[in-house]
Amino acid sequence: MNTPSIDLKQLLADAKETHPGAARAIDRLITLAPMFQSAARDMAGAYGETFLRRADDRVAEIDFLCNGDPEKFDEAIQAYVRFCLEFARKQAEFLKTGKYSFQDFDEMCSELYDDDEAVQSFYLFALLFSFIFSPNYYEFYDFFETEFLSHITDNGTICEVGCGHGVYLGQALSTHPKSQGVAIDISPGALEVAKRMLNFHKIASDRVDFAQDDLRKRLNRDKGMAHAIICCEVLEHLPDPQHALHELHRILRPGGTALLSAAIRMESVDHLYVFRTPEEVIEMIERAGLKLQASRVVPLAKGNMQDEEERRKLAEDPRVPVGYICRASK
């Protein structure tokens, strides 16, 4: 990102007072993996004070999950570092072959989602730090806050499918105190973490139903049960995202709102379905019967993301991985 060059030392010194959690995360990250200095500088340059505020929030959640143990916190950061390197390595391979390395959902399940240790010590921590330091996750969260939370009513059931750590649902139920929550994931290890996350956010346990279920199949939920659905970073993990979207449409009540995201030509430790363009995702969403209301495209590349024109150009470059997120209604 071509943003004003930030003096990290100065930033850390200032943030120590105002945003101690953010300062600690940056300090530990660049100490353990100095190669992330430019990422920290870019994020602070591009998103300023909001970056620090959000980082503080995420760090409070991570601290809670780590029971305040600084060693565990460092291990969580190392998980993020490995996750990023793994991504970069697989992405380079993807650019050569045009294929993601995983071809079989069941294999992915046994290697990751069914392995509590892998999910709880590696995967979910890596994702939580991505929300702080990776621009695509950061912008997804920003879209969630500014384009979704403020558009849903507070009188029904918010259902998060593929909730993982549960950050989105925790926040949605905090800001919508009259709503009930449903947290669905295929991974038992993830559901345990989501439960703790909602505890941290002081969401009464009788407000949330946690369920292991599989979005590849018919969800064990009634038609129209949710007035809001969150399904972020899930579609690209499935062999048949079109089926999944039909299923989300089925459980959404008429007039309801869905937050949906997709990774486009972007590998990861567990991506399966290759979306080639944002338009492909939009087509699928509309084919499922949902109406697009607002969307954002986040190219993962060096450039000034504040400049709409540059962002659009980068997003059109077939070699650049892109994050897509939208709000749709039924």
Partner 1 sequence: MSQENRTKLNEIIATLLEVDAATIDNNTSPTTIEQWDSLNHLNICVAVEQEFGIQLQTDEMATIRNVGDLVTMLNNKDVACA
Backbone CA torsion sign across 163, 165, 170, 171: negative
- Nearest residue to 281 (alpha-carbon basis) of 329, 327, 235, 321: 235
Which residue number, 41 or 165, has a Cβ lying nearer to ligand SAM?
A: 165
> Which one of ligand SAM, partner 1, none is in contact with 19 (Cβ closer than 5 to 8 A by kind)?
none
> Which one of ligand SAM, partner 1, none is in contact with 89 (Cβ closer than 5 to 8 A by kind)?
partner 1
> Which one of partner 1, ligand SAM, none is in contact with 151 (Cβ closer than 5 to 8 A by kind)?
none
CA dist., res. 202 & res. 157, Å (int): 18
Buried (b) or exposed (e) across 67-91, using 16+ Cβ within 10 A?
A: eeeeebbeebbbbbbebbeebeebb
> Which one of partner 1, ligand SAM, none is in contact with 34 (Cβ closer than 5 to 8 A by kind)?
partner 1
The DSSP annotation for 123-174 comes to: IHHHHHHHHHH-HHHHHHHHHIIIIIGGGS-SSSEEEEES-TT-HHHHHHHH
- Residues linked to residue 228 through DSSP beta bridges, in sequence order: 158, 257
Amino acid at 293: Q
Which residue number, 42 or 236, has a Cβ lying nearer to ligand SAM?
A: 236
- Burial of 115 from C-beta contacts in 10 A (0-12 / 13-18 / 19+): middle
> Which one of partner 1, ligand SAM, none is in contact with 234 (Cβ closer than 5 to 8 A by kind)?
ligand SAM
Which residue number, 27 or 214, has a Cβ lying nearer to ligand SAM?
A: 214
Q: In the 8-state DSSP scheme, what is residue 2? A: -
- Beta-carbon contacts of 171 under 8 Å, excluding residues fewer than 6 positions away, are 144, 145, 149, 201
User: Is residue 197 within a helix (H) or strand (E), and if so which, with residue range?
Assistant: helix 188-200
> Which one of ligand SAM, partner 1, none is in contact with 216 (Cβ closer than 5 to 8 A by kind)?
ligand SAM
Which residue number, 49 or 111, has a Cβ lying nearer to ligand SAM?
A: 111
Binding site for ligand SAM (CB under 6 A): 113, 127, 162-164, 185-187, 190, 214-216, 232-234, 237-238
Asked whether the beta carbons of 181 and 157 are under 8 A apart, the reply is: yes
Binding site for partner 1 (CB under 8 A): 33-39, 78, 81-82, 84-86, 88-89, 92
> Which one of partner 1, ligand SAM, none is in contact with 81 (Cβ closer than 5 to 8 A by kind)?
partner 1
Minimum distance from residue 84 beta carbon to partner 1 (Å): 5
Minimum distance from residue 233 beta carbon to ligand SAM (Å): 4
Minimum distance from residue 216 beta carbon to partner 1 (Å): 28
Which residue has the closest beta carbon to ligand SAM?
A: 164
Minimum distance from residue 209 beta carbon to ligand SAM (Å): 15
Which residue number, 42 or 233, has a Cβ lying nearer to ligand SAM?
A: 233
